Structure formats: structure tokens, C-alpha cells
Structure 1
């Protein structure tokens, strides 16, 4: 390769792809392109620790010396306008271009826009980048009444953080429960109860009519029921949209993201896609998914690097996620979309419990609140294909069961039946 490999997107996926290419022995040119003028940074802390202290700085993914030492070219603060797949080059908004032999799209996702009057008022924010987080932190310093639109992970993390700092916080969620598409009802109810106990007002099954402003700044949120909620700050967390514009314009197959095969190749084999923007057939659930998590971005990046260095392995990582909301560490492993039975282990009253999800008797997911051991063991069990019975899951002591199952599997493999 004379032009080498170019990666569009300098988030978790893009940076890991660049690092993994070098780890896999690729010696050709590697260029990382990002539209922010920042060294790539960890995003999860932006909704939590970063908002608490004006002196907190972003946690960089890799020190600048890493990129120099690994001979990874950096083109930050540049936005790609188009992919010319015939000429194999990128065209930049400033008029420049960059050739490539292979291309990795790690374009991520962006916050879903609020389709309401007043959404463009000052004091209305979404969170995706460190620039967003800085703006939220600066505005929150003088805010008293905060309204969070959306009861998902980002919205609740911010709500808990700002409430802990003394603000009056209201969360408005259109669905009947918080985290409705992410966790079991038991956990939704638990999270709601803990947040309400800290003084956060929760409005479920509630929609918003408009955002009201004065002199160009937001002053209130009016619900569809007519309630007028004072707000000198509004946080919008109503989901994310995959950044597929470049891929779609280049003629790649799009289906709720950039469609990829098990090796992360798009419909144009010379172009791969990874991370938040990639949609693929999941090995465990059998369904098509687009996952927004650091784990997924990192693992897909590692596999993409192996694909581009001559390997042909499918993507079989077990998905896992986490969220810190107030005094609750939520950890999730597996996908619960096909779940037809749940089992509770531990006591919700202790703020330490897990929900085991089953589909036809097979363990497919575990959701934990302050039970990290269940989460870590769950990652191993699901990867290995071990399913404790629902009764065993509820009773605990799964580690010993799993170890004995592993030993039996090893013995069976060593002594195959004739």
C-alpha cells in the first residue's frame, strides 16, 4: 500500500483502530482524521466527573507521544466533505484531499435534534463532545432550574450530577419508564426511586409542547399537558443518530447505520466501518444491531485491524455497557431484546442486585446494580455459552458452577466419544 490506511473519526473506535494496525504489524502509512481540535479523549466522564469541577480536563485516550512514536499521521480540526471511492481519496471541506488504499469509517453518532419551537434558544444543550461538556459546565455554574428531556443514560447521568450540585432538576420522559429500551422494569423502577429520593422530579408519559424563551434565552418548558416548568437550562438527551452521510453519498449500503459483514467490511470491501455508526448481524442474538458503547467501538476496531492485515475472523465479542447514575453503577452484558423471562438475584432494597435475562432457557443478558462480580462473571459465561438455570442464577454461587462446567467441557474435548 502506497497511500496506506486512513481512518475517519478520532473517537474510541478510530484511535483503537490506528493503534491496533501497528500492533498487528502494519507498517504502511496510517492517518487519523478528526473534526475536533483536541487530542482524542474518553467520552464517558463528560456527563459525570467533568461537569463537577471547572478545573477538570479531558482524559486523553493516548498521549501525543504515542501518535508520534507509532508514526500515526494526525489531521485534526478537518472535516471530510466527500469520499471519492473511484479515485480512492477524501475531499475536505477546505478544498484539500487525501488518498487512501483502505479506509475505516469510525464516524460515530450525533445527538438527535429536538424538533420543537425554542430548541435553538441559548441555554439549550446536547452532549456529545468535550466542547459541549464545557458549555454545559459553564452554564450550569449559574443555573438553578434544570430540565432534562429524555430518561436515557446520558440524561440521567447529567441529571444526577447537576442535582448533586444543588440544582433543582426535572426529568421529562415520553415513555412509561426510565431507560425503557435498555433495562428491565425492575431496574427502571429502582433507578427512578433512587433519583426521586435525591429530589429529582420525574415526569413519565409526558411530552413537550415547546421551549419558552425571553431575550433569546430559554426560561421554561411547556409540556403537552400545559404545565409550565421554569428552566434556565435544558439538556436534550433523546437518542443518537448514526453519522452515515459520507457513507451514503459514497454508495455504501445503509440500514440503521453503515451495514458491515462479520469482518467489519462494508458493501465496498476496501472500506470498513466500526463503532457507533456500524450495523451488523449479531452472533449471539441473531438480530441486526447498532451498538453505542466504548466496548463495541474498541473491539470492532481491533477486529478491523486484523481484517486489514490479512485475517478473516468474525466479530464475536460479547457486548457490555455501563453507566454511573448517582450512587448506582449499572453494568449490562449481553442483549436482552429476545428475553422472555427474568430472574432477580440480590436485594433491590440494598441497592445491590442483578437481573438475569433468559430466552428459551438460554442466558442472554445480565443487568446489575452495584454487583460488579455478577457482571464480570456474566461476560465470561455468555462468551463461553454457559447458561445456569434460573434457579441457580437466583441462588447465587455461580462462579463454582461455571468452573465445574468449564472443567467438564475440557474433559469432554480431551476424551471425545468414539
Structure 2
């Protein structure tokens, strides 16, 4: 049995940024309240984006540098490596895999997501990157010249490939498309990124749909079309699977795989809130949507925690997302979908751009490529466009590329 007390004013299930921010908001609004954080991860909350960004490119590769110090700064009782297996909203209790039953006044589900895995078999040379333990494992495997096959040419796959190349690995990036990130960026940017990745020694292999991995003396990756590739290590970026089992088994209202929440991030169960990756919420600009990025976790965790402690704040926010790829970087809001019409505005030297993604006459998303401190303006542009106050011919003058 654990040494947790049997009941807390507030219980948070999950150990990411949303959990950290919720605990901070609760503690700020109700300093005397008792808080428990139950996390399945072996490590406490960290700034998780660093696992594919700063820890590979910065001066300090130790994940301890990204510790959020949640327990020390909020007074929460943090229990890591603790899986919650059942939620009973009527009794206001949760049950852990160890058999402990813990009562709560309010509960936050911030369970996030886990990597989609290839089959049931496990080999230590096949890695995923979601937790601190995953990062440590991958770091231990990589040496100068290690042949690494990264599978997945999306947001995380490209970041991981860039990080591994910086660490000295011999990287091949296998992806399903014609070019990397083709679902997000126009050809002007994807062609530039192709050159940049190749200049950093990364081999790009398109049209590669992974069918399986043979774990012999070396790993052999086989594509659906019969092609094969050898590697010492494979890192799979096959997308994420929402950790929604607890919510679903407790009978919470769901929309597909996502937990439905109201404007204050309350679920359909009395006393239960949800935040971060797992929720479907109402974006003030884009309506009902689901987002899996740290800015959303940060903001929704903050709002949920405030409301758990008695607040009545609406989650009235359009999250941003961002990435850095070698010397390039971007911030973005909304839908970056190349099936939409794209209006590109470039700086004179072609080093920076603002890309508007148009759904008819309305802006559905904005990419700020090497353009900084412009997210608030981008939100204003989207709002004005969607309200009919800004015509498409007026868009190029709204945000200066490279700002």
C-alpha cells in the first residue's frame, strides 16, 4: 500500500505540463488546499517539448534541467509510477494499480497520450520518445556514427531526426509522403527543409510505409512496398494514442477518442475536470477542436486548476504550437493543412514568411516562419477574417515576415 492519505481536496491524474499548471493554479487560489498528483510516469513533471528540442541542441542534455519542481512549489503530494485504474465519480474516488482507493473533492484528468506502437513485440533497439525514461533510453543507445532509422516525417519525427543528427548519429528519416511535412507546409518551405536536412547529413526516404521490423543482429525495417532498410536503432514516430481509458470506463461523455468538456473544462461527471491532450473544447476562433501541443496543456491546465479551486473562468483561448528545425523555427495557430488555399507573404531576402491558410474567404490558420512575437497579431487577423472585417487582399499587410 502507498503512504498517500486517503483523501485530498484536489486530485490530479497525470504528470505533464497540464498537471503542473493545474496544481499551481489550485495552490495560488487555495493555498491551504491539499493536492495529490498521481502520475504513471517514473519521473515528475518536466517541460516535455525539451525531450525532442533543447536537450538535443542545447548545452545541457540532462533532463533534470527541465524539471518543473511541481511538488516543491505547490505543496502537492506527488506520486510517480502510480497508475490509476478506475474512477468512480459517484463515490468521488480513484483506485490505483496498487489497490489504493483515494478520495477527492475535485478531480482533474490530464492523462495525455502515449505513442502508437508497432505490434506487440518489444526490442530495446526500437525506441519511442514521449517520457523522460524514453529520452534516457534513446540517449544511451546513440553514439557517434550510430545508424538510426527514424520513421515518421511529421512534427515529432522531424524534430527527433534533427536532434539525433546533432548528437552525431547517422540518421535516415523514413516518411510516407513525397517530402517531409508536406501536409503542413507549402512547397517553398518543404523544398528548403529538404535541402537543410540533407546538408546536415540526414537521408530522406519518402513513400515509406512501415510494415514491420525484423530484430536480428541488426534491425531490418520493411515497407509495405517491399523495400527494406538496415539500422542499429529505430525511433518510431507513428502518432499518438490518447490515454482515455479511465474517462471512457467511468462513463464520461466522449466525442470519438476525446473527453467532452464545457467552457470551464468540466466533464459530464460532477466534480471532474479535464485538460490537455485528451479534451475536445470550444476554440473561440475555430469552434470544437482537439489539440495536442504544450501551449494548450499549459493554458487549459491553468484554467482547470483555477476552476477546481472555485473559479468560474472560461477557457477562451486559441493555442499556438511551435518547432525549431536546425536554424529555422516557426510558431503557428489554427489549421496548417495544405489541402487549403495558401497565401504566402515572404520577406525580401526569402528568409522568413507568413503563410495564411484559407478556407474560402476565411483564415483557418497562420504559419509564422522565422517570424517572431507575432502570435497575438495572428490571432487578431484570424478573428477579423472570420468575422468578415478583413478581406483576403488585405492580409499581406497585417504581419511583417521576419518580425
What TM-score comes out, normalization by structure 2 length? 0.87
Q: Which residue of 1 aligns with 2:231?
A: 231
Alpha-carbon distance in 1 for matches of 2:246, 2:374: 41
* 8 Å contact kept, 1:388–1:398: no
Q: Which residue of 2 aligns with 1:58?
A: 64
Distance 1:62 1:221, change over 3 A: closer
Is 1:45 aligned to residue 50 of structure 2? yes
Per-residue CA deviations over 1:87-135 (Å, capped at 9, x if unaligned) read 211111111121012110000000011248xx52331100000110011
Alpha-carbon distance in 2 for matches of 1:209, 1:31: 42
* 8 Å contact kept, 2:307–2:313: yes
Is 1:307 aligned to residue 307 of structure 2? yes
Distance 1:184 1:273, change over 3 A: farther
Distance 1:138 1:271, change over 3 A: same
Is 1:91 aligned to residue 95 of structure 2? yes
Secondary structure of residue in 1 paired with 2:192: helix
* 8 Å contact kept, 1:50–1:58: no
Aligned residues: CA RMSD: 2.8
Is 1:322 aligned to residue 322 of structure 2? yes
* 8 Å contact kept, 1:275–1:301: yes
Query: Which of residues 121, 124, 142 in structure 2 aligns to 1:122?
Result: 124
Alpha-carbon distance in 2 for matches of 1:237, 1:27: 42
Q: Which residue of 2 aligns with 1:342?
A: 342
Q: CA offset at residue 21 of structure 1? A: 1.3
Secondary structure of residue in 2 paired with 1:59: helix
What TM-score comes out, normalization by structure 1 length? 0.84
Secondary structure of residue in 1 paired with 2:139: helix
Is 1:164 aligned to residue 159 of structure 2? no
Alpha-carbon distance in 1 for matches of 2:349, 2:141: 36
* 8 Å contact kept, 1:24–1:306: yes
For structure 1, the 5+ residue unaligned runs are 400-418
Q: Which residue of 1 aligns with 2:34?
A: 29
Q: Which residue of 1 aligns with 2:147?
A: 145
Distance 1:176 1:9, change over 3 A: same
Q: CA offset at residue 349 of structure 1? A: 7.0
Secondary structure of residue in 1 paired with 2:65: coil
Q: Which residue of 2 aligns with 1:211?
A: 213
Q: Which residue of 2 aligns with 1:270?
A: 271
Mark the structure with the bigger radius of gyration: 1
Q: CA offset at residue 69 of structure 1? A: 5.4
Per-residue CA deviations over 1:237-284 (Å, capped at 9, x if unaligned) read 011011001111111122222121222111213211100111223332
* 8 Å contact kept, 2:115–2:128: yes
* 8 Å contact kept, 1:317–1:383: no
Is 1:8 aligned to residue 9 of structure 2? no
